[in-house]
Chains A and B, each alone.
Chain A
Amino acid sequence: MSAPLLEARQLSVEIGGKTVVDCLNLSLQPGERLAILGRNGAGKSTLLSTLAGLRPPQAGAVLLDGEDCALLPPRQAALRRAWLGQFQNDPFGSTVLETALTGRHPHLGRWDWESTRDAELARGALKALGLAGMEARQVHTLSGGERQRLSIATLLTQAATLYLLDEPLSHLDLNHQMAVLELFAGTARDCGAAVVMVLHDPALAHRFCDRALLVYGDGRCAQGAVDDILTAATLSELYGHGLRQIEDRGQRCFIPE
């Protein structure tokens, strides 16, 4: 059996001296989708960037394709995993197409320029996110939702096998939320990619992910198949607010009491 795309071994993560995740073991195979849920400040984003190898863990190790992230050269890591951050700011001007093309960086040699094939990939990604025809627009003229979709398009252009998404639905309206989630579901199903996403809506997590990881913020974590772990009882405890669960045609909905 091949090595999992992402593996965390005895991983501990701290924020400002406080351990928010302790001794986490996690493994993600091709095609799997994992949702990370938890309260604000529970350490979801920090955990995600640690899984991406962007910050060193307090203890334990993260493995990408079976290789220790800490020992992997940055470019090799970028060929294996793509990371979507929560915040983008653009102090300097740049067009939509140029921004999407930055995803090709790990695929290019030091002196290479983007080829027409790279541009085609970028245009394809922009089209998949409903940004076709906006290639020449300056990024600072985009709305929040358009900027978010551009970031996701850049991620697709990177063409990694593991996607780590920090609140991919922020700023998106309802139809684009569904389109983005369908897109990553398709990428996982058809291309064998693995997807980890930080989400705030347990119903969407239940519908679009196979497994969920609940982060309590005090070091405790719980994970399991969405059907088992995303229940009114566990979620009420996680968020500290009572939830009622409604089922409809195999989908779950959670209503705050």
Chain B
Amino acid sequence: MPTRRRAFLILSALSLLALASFALALSAGSLKVPLPDIVAALFGHGDGAADMVVQLRLPRALAGFACGGLLALAGALMQVLLRNPLADPYVLGISGGAGVGAMFGILIGLPLLAIDGLAFAGALGAMFLVFGLAHGDGSWTQTRLLLTGVIVAAGCGALIALMLSIADEGKLHGMLFWLMGDLGQTFTWWPAALALVVALACAMPFARELNLLSRGLMQAQALGVAVGRLRYTVYLLASVATAASVTTAGSIGFVGLVVPHLVRLATGNDQRLLLPATVLAGGSLLVLADTAARTVIAPMQLPVGVLTALIGVPVFLFLLSRQPK
């Protein structure tokens, strides 16, 4: 039976994991900084080297945590909205729309801030397009929503491939890193962090209603959930969370699909616990993956999206094989 006490214990443990991931992210790298120096620097008493590391590594770790949390939250919400365990934040074409905007920005040589702006506009454009088309006949069913999203995503994929094929060599590297997800290009961390706080704060009051929604629309309605309004809210929240993340760090794959499942396997499917736990786990996973991405073959940097999959797949398969029948 779900209890507050159990939720508190699990969330405390995950908070410690998040702290540990930050400690690792701040200390690891070409310049190793001992933990006490970092703590001193965080409180403004550090020496020059530690200060610099904190100023360079902390924003990147914060951006990584925010993006990981946003993707995991958006994935958990999409899975409930579509009642489909295979749904992820990108299934409805939001990252495709952002990708089209970002690729176009890189192609015509815009500065970083303008690329982010175009990516965000593309994500919102895809969101409204899918919403409008799926809502067209008023039915707004899961299947229609899913099909519309998949088709819009496919269309965006074609546009992205077109732009990749006409781009000159010099720009291809940046474009590919954006598409695979990369925190090295992050302009600033706070919009993603703000989006994470707002999205989680907006989703939590509906957590128990989401439990019912995942069991079926009619069942949820019969048990007193205003299903129509809740589904619009969830769609909007998941879309904006995804848009904020892809704008900050490109389309990092895997986190949004697998972290909710990881947490579900470990803690059960109660959204009151699952939503905050998935945010902490997703954020920690991305911070760890990004730390690995910039250290394993330093000084070369890998796109973090590759690492999230490399870390997550074996962990997920391990948990799946342990699942009691």
Q: Look across to chain A and name the residue whose beta carbon is closest to the beta carbon of B226.
A: A74
Residues of A within 8 A of B85 (CB): 91-92
Cross-chain contact A77 with B214 (CB below 8 angstroms): no
Which residues of chain B come closer than 8 Å to A102, judged between CB atoms?
211-212, 215, 219, 223
| A78 at interface by CB-CB < 8 Å | yes
Residue of A nearest to B209 (CB): A105
Contact present for A52 and B4 (CB under 8 Å):
no
Residue numbers in A under 8 Å from B194 (CB-CB): none
Considering the chains assembled together, what is the distance between the CA atoms of A232 and B219 in angstroms? 36
Distance A85 CA – B219 CA, assembled complex (angstroms): 7
- Do A88 and B224 have beta carbons less than 8 Å apart? no
Q: Which residues of B contact A111 (CB under 8 A)?
A: 205
Please choose the segment from B47-55, B182-190, B266-274 that sits at the chain A interface, where 4 or more of its residues have CB less than 8 A away.
Answer: B266-274
- In the complex, the answer to whether B224 meets A113 with C-beta atoms within 8 Å is no
B132 within 8 A of A: no
B86: nearest chain-A partner, CB-CB: A91
Q: B224 and A92: CB pair below 8 A?
A: no
CA distance A92 to B3 in the complex (A): 19
Q: Find residues 67-98 in chain A having any chain B CB closer than 8 Å to their own CB.
A: 73-79, 82-83, 85, 87-95, 97-98
Asked if A49 and B218 make an inter-chain contact with CB atoms under 8 angstroms apart, the answer reads yes
List the B side residues contacting A103 at CB < 8 Å: 223
For B204-225 the 0/1 string (1 means CB < 8 A from A) is 0100110110111011011111
- Rounded to whole Å, the gap between the CB of A55 and the closest CB of chain B is 9
Is B84's beta carbon under 8 Å from chain A?
yes
Q: Give the shortest distance, in Å, between A236 (CB) and chain B (any CB).
A: 33
Q: Are A105 and B226 in contact (CB under 8 A)?
A: no
B264: interface (CB < 8 Å): yes
B contact face: mostly helix, strand, loop, or mixed: loop
B300 CB–A CB distance under 8 Å: no
CB-CB nearest in chain A for B208: A105
A130 CB-CB contact with B under 8 Å: no
Report if A161 contacts B (CB, 8 A). no
Q: Which of A110-161 contact B (CB under 8 A)?
A: 110-111, 113-114, 119, 141, 158
Residue B1 CB within 8 A of the other chain:
yes
A85, B4: Cβ atoms closer than 8 Å: no
* A242 touches B (CB below 8 Å): no
- Cβ of B325 within 8 Å of any chain A Cβ, yes or no, is yes
Give Cα A98 to B214, complex, Å: 13
Most chain A CB within 10 A, of B2, B214, B219, is at B219
Are B205 and A110 closer than 8 Å at their CB atoms? yes
Q: Does A106 contact B (CB under 8 A)?
A: yes
What are the residues of chain A within 8 A of B4 when measuring CB–CB?
A: 113
Identity of the chain A residue whose Cβ is nearest the Cβ of B225 in the assembled complex: A74
Selected contact of A91 from candidates B83, B208, B218, CB within 8 Å: B83
Contacts of A49 in B (CB 8 A): 218
Q: Does A225 contact B (CB under 8 A)?
A: no
Number of residues from B at the complex interface, CB < 8 A:
31
Question: Whole-angstrom distance between the alpha carbons of A87 and B84 in the complex?
Answer: 17
Which B-chain residue is minimally distant from A141 (CB atoms)? B325
Q: How far is the CB of A172 from chain B (nearest CB, A)?
A: 19
Which of A74, A102, A111 has most chain B Cβ within 10 Å?
Answer: A74
For the complex, give the distance between the alpha carbons of A113 and B208 in Å. Answer: 9
Interface contact A98-B1, CB-CB below 8 Å: yes
Contacts of A91 in B (CB 8 A): 83-85, 214
Query: Given contacts A49-B218, A85-B218, is CB(A94)–CB(B269) below 8 Å?
Result: yes
**Residue in chain B with minimal CB distance to A116:** B1
Q: Are A89 and B205 in contact (CB under 8 A)?
A: no
Residues of chain A with a CB closer than 8 A to B223's CB: 78, 102-103, 105-106, 158
B residues 137-159 near A (Cβ < 8 Å) are none
Distance (whole angstroms) from the CB of B279 to the closest CB of chain A: 18
Please name all residues of chain A whose beta carbon is closer than 8 Å to the beta carbon of B272 when the two chains form the complex: 113
A101 part of interface (Cβ distance < 8 Å): yes
CA–CA, A94 and B100, complex, Å: 39
| Known interface pairs A85-B219, A105-B224; A92-B208 also in contact (CB < 8 Å) | no
Instruction: Give the most central of A87, A88, A91: most B CB within 10 Å.
Output: A91
* Interface: A54 (CB within 8 A): yes
Residues of A within 8 A of B221 (CB): 54, 74
Complex formed: what's the CA distance from A99 to B219 in Å? 11
* Contacting residue for A78 out of B1, B208, B218, B222, CB 8 A: B222
Q: Is the CB of B222 within 8 A of A85?
A: yes
Verify if A108 is at the interface (C-beta below 8 Å from B).
Answer: yes
The residue on A at minimum CB distance from B325 is: A141
Q: Which residues of B contact A94 (CB under 8 A)?
A: 215, 268-269
Q: Which residues of B contact A (CB under 8 A)?
A: 1-4, 79, 83-85, 205, 208-209, 211-212, 214-216, 218-219, 221-227, 264, 268-270, 272, 325
Instruction: Beyond A54-B218, A77-B224, list 18 extra A-B contacts (CB 8 Å).
Output: A54-B221, A54-B222, A74-B226, A75-B224, A78-B222, A78-B223, A79-B224, A83-B218, A85-B218, A85-B219, A88-B215, A90-B215, A91-B83, A93-B269, A101-B1, A105-B225, A110-B208, A113-B3
What are 9 pairs between A and B in contact, CB < 8 Å?
A: A74-B226, A78-B222, A83-B222, A89-B216, A98-B2, A103-B223, A105-B208, A113-B4, A113-B272
Task: Write the residues of chain A forming the contact surface with B, with a CB cutoff of 8 angstroms.
Answer: 49, 52, 54, 73-79, 82-83, 85, 87-95, 97-99, 101-103, 105-106, 108, 110-111, 113-114, 119, 141, 158
